[in-house]
Structure formats: structure tokens, C-alpha cells
Copies of this chain bind each other. A is one copy, B any other.
Amino acid sequence: MDGTLNTRVTPQSAAATHTADCAVFGFSEGVLKVLLVQRNVEPFAGHWVLPGGAMGEDERLEQTARRVMLELVGVRDLFLQQVATYSEPDRHPVRRVVTTCYYALVKPENHTPVAKGYLSDVAWHPLSEVPPLGFDHGRLLNDAHQRLIQQLRDRPLAFDLLPDRFTLTEAQQLYEGILGEALDRRNFRRKILAYDFLIETRAKRAGVKGGPVLYRLDRAALDREMRK
């Protein structure tokens, strides 16, 4: 309980550093991807990990996550959800670091990640081809993915990953990429259109004459749906 650090209940209140790590999901070329960064400092130099950074003096962890995403990889405006907090004393090989994991959804085409600071590289990795990660980030990523799946089953929150105009097939590929299972095309179409936040667009893709119908999002209607 807060404010009682001076009682015998508390052995030695550990002043651990607190960081925020992000599993940033994006969708392009029909595949679900995660944004990973490669460290160029020890520990785990050369390893890929989730982007993250330490909480500042007057920051909430969520702000930390947003700041780091912006400063480190140039990504702004993300949909952020807290996943969990990890506090194993030995999860960091050098000092005590507690981390809170978030997952984020972004449109990859809106951002060009750039490696700065202690990073030697930043890249999108298909979720199916993620290399072994440093620290316990493999676990974080897995938990974040699971949470995303769970929340996606409840609410249609994945549309932040799609471009402004998209086909239903693309939306379905996205869902399949996240859930990791094949969906029936007709059922998916019925279910998604049952919501009323998709607006049919008269425009077609590129210069092509025919082709599938493009939809765009009625953001207000989606938000209404999400609040339910």
C-alpha cells in the first residue's frame, strides 16, 4: 500500500528502474508484422528486442511509451494498450529493471522507422519469422500478441492497422494474420458488415478499371461500437 515504505512490512523498498516496452504491430503485404530494434550496446548487443525506454520523472508509463516510439523509431499516433508488468529480479542481467509491456497498432505506410540512440537497426519482422529476442522480450511479445487476440475477439479494434481505403479481403487477411487461423470468407464478410462502421467507396484501386470494392472507416461509428 502506498505511502508506508517506512514500516517493517517493507524489507528494503527496491528502487528499481521502470521501463515501458512496446510490441508494435503493423500490417503490410498481407502479413502481420512487429517492429523490432537491434541493440548496439550491452547487454544483449546485437540482439533484437522490443523498442522501449525508461520512465521519466513526470511521466506516466503510457507517455513513456509514446515518447520512446517517437524518439527512437519515429512512430507517432499509436493505439496503445497495456498488457502486463514484469518484475522478476533477474530479468535484466545487470541491474533491477521492471518493465510494463504495451502493444500498439500502427499503419506501417505512415511511418519510416529510424534507428537512433543505442540502436543499430529497426525493422518490421513478419510475426511468423521473429528471431530470438533479448531479455525476456520473447515472452512479452507473446503475451502482447495473446492480449491482442483476446481483445480482437471482443471488439473490432484492428482497423488501425489498415490503410485508409481497403478491401474486405485485406481486412480478412489482417484478421487471419492476428488470430493465426483461416476464416471463412462469406462469414467474415457478413460479420464485419453487420457492424455499421464500414462505408462503401465508389472509387476503385489505382488506375485499374474493375476490381473489388474499397471501403473506408466511419471512425465515429467505430468508436461508438468500441465503447459498447
Chain A residues proximal to chain B, CB less than 8 Å = 1-5, 7-19, 21, 37, 39, 41-44, 49-62, 68, 71-72, 82, 84-85, 87-89, 91-100, 116-118, 135
* B-chain residues with CB within 8 Å of residue A43 when the two chains form the complex: 3
Known A4-B53, A4-B118; judge A14-B59 contact (CB<8 A). yes
5 A-B pairs with least C-beta separation: A1-B52, A13-B54, A15-B15, A11-B56, A61-B87
Determine how close the nearest CB of chain B comes to the CB of A117; give it in whole angstroms.
5
Q: How far is the CB of A158 from chain B (nearest CB, A)?
A: 19
Closest residue of B by beta carbon distance from A40: B4
Assembled-state Cα–Cα distance A85/B97 (Å): 15
Q: How far is the CA of A89 from the CA of B11 in the complex (A)?
A: 24
Question: Do B97 and A8 have beta carbons less than 8 Å apart?
Answer: no
Cβ B10 vs Cβ A54 within 8 A: yes
Chain B CB count within 10 A is highest, among A1, A3, A96, for A1
Residues of chain B lying within 8 A (CB to CB) of residue A39: 1, 3-4
From B5, B21, B54, contact of A54 by CB (8 A): B5
Distance between A146 CB and nearest chain B CB, rounded to angstroms: 13
Interface of A is mostly: loop
- Residue pairs across A and B with Cβ atoms less than 8 A apart, 28 shown, are A1-B19, A1-B49, A1-B51, A1-B53, A2-B52, A2-B92, A3-B44, A3-B97, A4-B53, A5-B17, A8-B117, A9-B54, A9-B68, A9-B118, A10-B53, A11-B57, A13-B54, A13-B55, A14-B54, A14-B57, A18-B18, A18-B98, A57-B96, A60-B88, A61-B87, A61-B98, A82-B85, A85-B85
Contact B56 A2 (CB under 8 A): no
Per the bound structure, the CA–CA distance linking A135 and B3 in Å amounts to: 10
Instruction: Compute how far the CA of A118 lies from the CA of B98 in the bound complex, rounded to whole angstroms.
Output: 27
Taking a contact as CB atoms under 8 Å apart, the answer to whether B1 and A50 are in contact is: yes
CB-CB under 8 A from A8, the residues of chain B are: 117
